[in-house]
């Protein structure tokens, strides 16, 4: 029986609130707090359990500390934006409360993400005797757990890891992102990066493309090499990995729109003067693009996110592919969100459950692959994200 404070009432926060409410034996009291209080109230109204709601600016640490002291949660789940990570970690440190998030810190004025800023809290969290679990979404999150599971069950050594994220859904809008547009476009337009033989290698944005034949009737799609944060923690914690890459599908339509927007400067994060005030073009673009939350009732099709892994077991080369398929419309029927928010919010709830039930415990700052994957994998099957270990022939796949 635990009290949990969820910060952020966007697409992901809504799913986390719904899913925590489905498990009252773990999450006995829930408070949902965000910058815009009406969004918290709208989510609470969809849930058939009383949920406390609060307005909070999580960048205002004293105010957030006040809310934490008043509600007295055992855990804060941060599903606001990556810009808030350090402020929320500071408030947890001051109040001695555990912390969980789904995305690593990004400075607002630089499109760069890395774990250093949050790993730097290690000593302070240890000394305070509290725990932070970083990246408990799908990717990062479940993909780290899939990799740890593969290592535990199938391999003595993992040599190559390809994380492949496919959204084969259609929302019918000319251009929209399926999670926060600002964060999404910053991620997609930065230089690609992958790990090979102990070094990070960079590529031009979206310049490396392959085709991958997705299972269960989704079929072949173009996948593009991107840098994604779980690569940084996985190669640190699983030093045997010789090559780690991350791939994502994009439709030609998405890429054409993105090219034009980039070409005319609309994705820039450099402030410009506009009619006497400073605006950031990407933030203005976010304001005119569809709110990802509004795509829920429109999106059809499925996502397929998984890990293709090659390594050695008992001296023999071996491959495995572990994936989840999630249906946008089914998610909407259950929690009024599309599958991208769902596949992030469910693992956030399960990560919280692992911490609050003592299955995953420690003092300090942790990534998902540092814990036993088995209880997490079991809960994925129960709480809406069943996974599959592909049993077909993987020998011909070359990426
Ligand atoms: N690991 C994964 O698989 C994965 C996948 C997708 C997304 N994510 C992460 O999930 C997080 C949420 O994404 P989303 O799509 O739900 O974004 P979203 O729809 O934009 O929601 C973000 C929410 O945070 C609130 N917020 C922003 N700044 C705040 C502040 N200073 N104080 C309090 N609340 C604040 C926003 O408030 P307003 O409503 O007032 O704007 C909004 O309700 C992001 O960090 C994203 O990177 C992770």
CA 180 to ligand 1 centroid distance, Å: 7
Identify the residue whose C-alpha is closest to ligand 1 atom 27.
80
State pLDDT tens for residues 253-296: 999 999 999 999 999 999 999 999 999 999 999 999 998 888 88
What is the dihedral angle through the alpha carbons of 223, 234, 111, 100, rounded to the nearest 10 degrees?
A: 110
Q: If you measure from the C-alpha of residue 12 to the centroid of ligand 1, how many angstroms do you get, rounded to a whole number?
A: 7
pTM exceeds cut of 0.85: yes
**pLDDT exceeds 90 at position 391:** no
SS3 220: strand
Atom of ligand 1 nearest to the CA of 84: 31
- Output the pLDDT for position 327: 97
Please state the φ and ψ torsions of residue 76, each to the nearest 5 degrees.
-105, 125
What percentage of residues in the chain have a pLDDT greater than 90? 91
Question: What's the CA-to-centroid distance between 318 and ligand 1, angstroms?
Answer: 39
Q: What distance in angstroms lies between residue 343's CA and the mean position of ligand 1's atoms?
A: 14
Cβ-Cβ contacts under 8 Å for 261 (sequence gap 6 or more): 185, 267, 285
Domain with CATH 3.30.360.10 in the chain: 142-336+374-389
Nearest residue by C-alpha to atom 15 in ligand 1: 179
Residue 231 and residue 367: Cα distance in Å, rounded? 11
209 pLDDT band, cuts 50/70/90, is very high
User: How many C-beta neighbours within 10 Å does residue 255 have?
Assistant: 15
Residues of the chain with CATH 3.40.50.720: 2-134
Alpha-carbon span 323 to 215, nearest angstrom: 9
Pocket of ligand 1 (CB under 6 A): 7-13, 34-36, 39, 56-59, 79-82, 84, 102-103, 137-141, 179-180, 183, 292-293, 344
pLDDT tens digit sequence for 212-243: 999 999 999 999 999 999 999 999 999 999 99
Q: How far is the CA of 192 from the centre of ligand 1 (A)?
A: 23
Domain 2-134 has CATH 3.40.50.360: no
Asked whether the beta carbons of 171 and 296 are under 8 A apart, the reply is no
CA atoms of 151 and 156, how far apart (whole Å):
7
Nearest residue to 138 (alpha-carbon basis) of 343, 276, 359, 388 = 343
Tally of CA atoms within 13 A in the half-sphere of 231 that contains its CB: 25
Architecture of domain 142-336+374-389: 2-Layer Sandwich (3.30)
296-307 tens-digit pLDDT: 899 999 999 999
Q: Which residues pair with 305 in a beta bridge?
A: 165, 324
Contact 79, 8 (CB under 8 A): yes
Which residue's alpha carbon is nearest to atom 37 within ligand 1? 35
């Amino acid at each position: 029986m635990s009290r949990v404070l969820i910060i952020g009432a966007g697409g992901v926060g809504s799913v986390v609130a719904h899913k925590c409410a489905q498990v009252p034996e773990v999450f006995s009291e829930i408070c949902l707090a965000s910058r815009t209080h009406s969004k918290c109230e709208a989510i609470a109204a969809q849930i058939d359990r009383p949920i406390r709601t609060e307005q909070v600016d999580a960048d205002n640490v004293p105010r957030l500390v006040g809310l934490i002291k008043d509600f007295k949660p055992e855990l804060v789940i941060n599903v606001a934006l990556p810009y808030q990570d350090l402020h929320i970690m500071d408030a947890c440190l001051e109040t001695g409360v555990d912390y969980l998030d789904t995305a690593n810190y990004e400075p607002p004025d630089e499109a760069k993400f890395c774990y250093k800023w949050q790993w730097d809290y290690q000593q302070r969290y240890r000394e305070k005797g509290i725990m932070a679990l970083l990246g408990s979404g799908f990717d990062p999150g479940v993909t780290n757990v899939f990799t740890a599971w593969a290592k535990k069950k199938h391999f003595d050594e993992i040599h190559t890891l390809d994380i492949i994220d496919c959204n084969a859904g259609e929302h019918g809008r000319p251009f929209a992102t399926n999670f926060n547009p600002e964060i999404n476009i910053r991620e997609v337009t930065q230089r690609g990066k992958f790990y090979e033989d102990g070094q990070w290698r960079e590529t031009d944005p979206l310049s490396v493309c392959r085709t991958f034949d997705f299972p269960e009737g989704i079929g072949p799609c173009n996948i593009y090499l991107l840098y994604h944060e779980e690569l940084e923690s996985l190669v640190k914690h699983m030093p045997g990995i010789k090559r780690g890459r991350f791939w994502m599908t994009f439709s030609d339509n998405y890429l054409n729109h993105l090219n034009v927007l980039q070409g005319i400067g609309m994705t820039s994060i450099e402030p410009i003067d506009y009619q006497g005030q400073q605006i950031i073009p990407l933030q203005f673009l976010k304001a005119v693009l569809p709110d990802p939350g509004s795509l829920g009732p429109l999106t059809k099709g499925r996502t397929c996110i998984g890990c293709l892994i090659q390594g050695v077991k008992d001296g023999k080369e071996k491959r495995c592919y572990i994936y989840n398929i999630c249906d946008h419309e089914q998610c909407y029927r259950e929690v009024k969100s599309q599958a991208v928010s769902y596949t992030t919010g469910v693992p956030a709830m399960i990560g919280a459950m692992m911490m609050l039930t003592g299955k995953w415990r420690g003092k300090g700052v942790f990534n998902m692959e540092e814990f036993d994957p088995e209880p997490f994998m079991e809960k994925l099957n129960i709480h809406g994200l069943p996974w599959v270990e592909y049993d077909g022939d993987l020998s011909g796949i070359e990426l």
